[in-house]
Chain A
Amino acid sequence: MKTLEEIENLSLEELEQKAAENAAPVPDGLERRLRQALAARELAEAAKPHPARWIPYASLAAVAAAAAALVMLPQRGPKDTFDDPLLAYAEVEKAFQTISDKMAVGMDIVRDAEETAGMPYNTFNKIQK
């Protein structure tokens, strides 16, 4: 039995020679069994369902087509309420009147606020006179 120091002092050639002298025998049929195992693994890999390469591209194309259709196809709109342009015009005028009426409510509030805000000023002026 060699000590660790003796082993460390051996040259590379001597180490290789020792390893060749004590080589472990290869079991019978190992090579055949290895080949069989590798072949079986290859078969199993081939049988596995691989995602087809075209699927991501086809999905991308579908998404792009859907987006393009949304933008380019004429969107079905609601049906006109009036067939007669004069009636439509009257309705537009009525809509403007409604908007103005609602706006007038806001303007009245502003006018009231202005009057209230002016009261102290007027009172002050009267007192000064």
Chain B
Amino acid sequence: MKRIVILFAALLLTCSAFAQNGKSIYQKYSDAENVSAVYVSPAMFRMIGRIPDLEVGDDNVNLSPVIRALTGLYILNSENPAINDNLRADAERFIKSGKYELLMEAKDSGETVRMYTVGNDRLIEGFVMLAAEPGEVTFICLDGQMPRKEFEELLARKAAD
């Protein structure tokens, strides 16, 4: 009997581990009031990858290698003070459990921005941005197998624009 209880506890722990990811956070908060949510599925990314000329708009920044490597995008922007703290706490728990590394942190005029990545020297398997300011929390989560060099160059070039 004791063994069965331990097994059930292990199963519950496994379930809770499954629950903490970008998708579950998106599903939890996307329907809440004053929350704008965007989800782009792996299937949609495959369709984007088939667009012949991806270098739309800005000639200096080529998004295509990174976009073709993406498999999921979750964006939550909450201006609902009732859920902001929970969203932030869930995102931080997800970051901790997913073994994300802090890429950058900036604090300016009451706003805290943190960016995290998970992967290795060559590939980024996940990227999370969590920005919090009074009354607003933004959560962006990217999944995929993005070349680290191109991803970081892309962000740096866009930031310089």
Contacts and interface: CB of A to CB of B under 8 A. Distances in A.
A32 interface: no
Contacts of B26: 78
A63 B106 contact: no
Nearest to B41: A80
B23 A80 contact: no
Contacts of A59: 4, 7
Contacts of A82: 40, 44
Given A63-B7, A106-B106, A96 B63 contact: yes
A78 B159 contact: no
Nearest to A64: B7
A39 to B, nearest CB: 32
Interface stretch (B50-58, B80-88, B118-126): B50-58
Given A85-B48, A92-B63, A78 B30 contact: yes
A78 B66 CA distance: 23
A115 interface: no
